[in-house]
Amino acid sequence: MRIVVVGTPGAGKTTAAKTIAAALGLAHIELDSLHWEPGWRALSKADPDEFARRVSAAVARDVWVADGNYEAVRQLVWSRATDLIWLDYDRPVIMYRVIKRSLVRAVTRTELWAGNKEDWRNWLRPSHPITWAWTTWRQRRAHYEELLAREECRHLRVLRLRRPREAEGLVDALRGTV
């Protein structure tokens, strides 16, 4: 089983992927950890070939759960996946979660990837997860609908969750296919 978890920033992709991986005994692949370099250097922009190499190596395994939305490596991940879980929650849910997460990370100075930490000064940047979640929520939903209707995605078993409570039975639903 190879599962990819997608959704808007703040949806809970990493939390869901970690939960699934632990419950089913699968490797967890956090695409953010493969993507971010020290100083918030985005590998998808700075060295896309290296990013693709890292992701290809990670998804070459037989079983895994990956979380992330990177367009640069989507084909690599989705073509290997057997299942796709789309955390497609309403905008108020997303915004509450992404603001809360950002606030906690900024206050606690939690290290994220490659030594990077949340910085209040970045909150108004268009690329910050809060702004990104707000401005891309609607178009991301439409984009995923379009992507998942394509022929190259027909092999994926898609679980589209519209409310957080639907995630409660997710592991049991997946266990039925193991």
Question: Is 62 part of any domain?
Answer: yes
Question: Is 126 part of any domain?
Answer: no
Question: Is 97 part of any domain?
Answer: no
Question: Is 125 part of any domain?
Answer: no
Question: Is 151 part of any domain?
Answer: yes
More confidently predicted of 143 and 172? 143
pTM summary value: 0.92
Q: How many domains is the chain built from?
A: 1
Question: Is 162 part of any domain?
Answer: yes
* Partners of 160 in beta bridges: 86
What is the CATH classification number for the domain harbouring 9? 3.40.50.300
Question: Is 66 part of any domain?
Answer: yes
Over residues 18-47, the pLDDT tens digits come to 999 999 999 999 999 999 999 999 999 999
Average pLDDT value over all residues in the chain: 92
Question: Is 115 part of any domain?
Answer: no
Over residues 78-125, the pLDDT tens digits come to 999 999 999 999 999 999 999 999 999 999 998 998 888 888 887 878
Q: What is the extent of the structural domain holding 11? A: 2-90+139-175
Pairing type for strands 157-161 and 83-87 reads parallel
- Quick one: which of 100, 91, 98 has its CA closest to 137? 91
User: What pLDDT, on the 0 to 100 scale, is given for residue 82?
Assistant: 96
User: What pLDDT, on the 0 to 100 scale, is given for residue 177?
Assistant: 60
Is residue 74 classed exposed, middle or buried when 0-12, 13-18 and 19+ CB atoms within 10 A define those classes? middle
Over residues 117-171, the pLDDT tens digits come to 888 887 878 888 899 899 999 999 999 999 999 999 999 999 999 999 888 888 8
Over residues 44-57, the pLDDT tens digits come to 999 999 999 999 99
Interhelix angle 91-108/129-148, nearest 10 degrees: 140
User: What pLDDT, on the 0 to 100 scale, is given for residue 126?
Assistant: 82
- Quick one: which of 72, 67, 10 has its CA closest to 42? 72
176 token code pair: 């039925």
